[in-house]
Amino acid sequence: MHLIWENTIKNLILLWTGEFKGIDTGCESYELGLEVWEAIGKATAASGGTLPSVYCACPPNPVTERSACTADSWSFWTQYLGSVLLCQKFSKAKYYKHFVKLVKILHVCLQFKHSAQDVEDLRVGFESWVKEFEEIYYQNDPQHAGVCPIIIHALLHIADSIEETGPIWTSWAFPMERFCGHLQPIIKSKHHPDACIARYIVEEAQLTQASLIHNMAEELSLHKPLNGMVAGQFTHESYPTCVLLLPQQKGPDAIDDSLYSKIIKALATRLDTTPTVLKQVVFRKHMDQWGKVRRLEGGDTMICARLVNKQVDSRDATFVWYESLKQTFYGQLQYLFVINVPANPTIHLDAPLIIFFAALLPCLLTASSAHLDVLDIHFYSAMGTSLDIVDIVCIQCLVGRVPLNDNGRSWAIIDRSGDLARAVFED
């Protein structure tokens, strides 16, 4: 995959910006104006603030910080940002369609596993894409032969490689690249760097073997476990998949009259009773607010926009994907409530009940182009005015957002979960 991120994508950008080996556009007009590409670069860098940190490192500006663009950052840009930021930027739609077609194919490449049909789709897809690439950039002109390096031909063999060796993640270069990155800071001697590297590798291997043999991975790890205990956290057996985290607000002052009425209405639906009856049983003293929720087993930590103050340079972790009545929604998490419902025969409750509620402002989705629909990218230009209050298990994961070039009036929702199980390299 490094050959795609570090070669194919970079070469496409060089072609679009008129910097590829001095080759002109011939009979086509695929070049982007300098101002257009600079605007895309600025939008790329600005997107870091509205993308959760678990998604990626802050994307560098590909115009002014090209040397900081790694294979990992090009991968994220291609899969999620490029399709949004390049929309309606080309003089002809066919250039954009050609790029989106590549992104769609790469999404299939990155699936965790492949069926025989997936492999055949890749074979046909890459053949079609390469043929269109030659029509647009090579144009059957010997003067343009330089736009067809060996990597373009190599795309035609990816399907065969998957058939012979398995999914791409089994043989890609990310683990080795990251391993080399770990080696650089451990070199303490300019005269004997090999000895430093050798000692590190031996000790790392010893720790790894000890942790596997004696089942001591957490004890020997130098990192805090993702699902470890956190001071002040709150869990309940009724919600084994999540944990609530500080800050917390208790007491009647934590819930105003408007919120109280909304919670009672949602609770009445849950308990199949009426708000009038519930107000005689459940009071504001039975409700607490929490600031964060973390999905266990490697899930995301999501933050309440109303209870946790956002720092100027912090990443946004308040927008989420949630489900209600078997439908998918996107919205900003506003509040998290723990409702301690006391036992009471009036509401047919024989024992106390704990309920975790989440209150969200929904994103009002707008229509997107057919090309972006195939990539499962959605858009919104306004937020709902009334809160959706749902059980906390309805919240699935964090999503990111990318502002379009219309002064922030419209946003694209970046959902890395999507419809496919994709392989993503992590330490």
Q: Please give the residue range of the domain that contains residue 287.
A: 242-414
Over residues 136-152, the pLDDT tens digits come to 999 999 999 999 999 99
For the entire predicted model, the pTM comes to 0.88
What pLDDT was estimated at residue 422? 55
- Position 421 in a domain: no
* pLDDT(221) > 90: no
Question: Scanning the structure block, which residue is given the tokens 């490689």?
Answer: 161
Mean pLDDT of 92-120: 95
- Position 370 in a domain: yes
- Position 346 in a domain: yes
Verify that 52 and 135 share a domain, yes or no.
Answer: yes
- What does the H/E/C string look like for 190-229? CCCHHHHHHHHHHHHHHHHHHHHHCCCHHHHCCCCCCCCC
Verify that 134 and 189 share a domain, yes or no.
Answer: no
Over residues 151-192, the pLDDT tens digits come to 999 999 999 999 999 999 888 888 888 888 888 888 988 899
- Position 160 in a domain: yes
Verify that 53 and 152 share a domain, yes or no.
Answer: yes
Verify that 204 and 64 share a domain, yes or no.
Answer: no
What pLDDT was estimated at residue 309? 83
Nearest to 390 by CA among 345, 344, 350, 330: 330
Over residues 15-66, the pLDDT tens digits come to 999 999 999 999 999 999 999 999 999 999 999 999 999 998 999 999 999 9
**Residue 311 corresponds to which tokens in the numbers above?**
């720092």
- How many CA atoms are closer than 13 Å to the CA of 219, on its beta-carbon side? 7
* pLDDT(311) > 90: no
- Position 422 in a domain: no
Nearest to 75 by CA among 61, 56, 53, 98: 56
DSSP β-bridge partners for residue 327: 324
How many structural domains is the chain composed of? 3
Alpha helices, DSSP H, located in 314-412: 370-373
What pLDDT was estimated at residue 217? 79
* pLDDT(369) > 80: no
Mean pLDDT of 385-392: 96
Higher pLDDT, 419 or 77: 77
Over residues 225-284, the pLDDT tens digits come to 655 667 889 999 999 999 999 999 987 778 999 999 999 999 999 999 999 999 999 999
Mean pLDDT of 285-296: 94
- Position 228 in a domain: no
What pLDDT was estimated at residue 69? 93
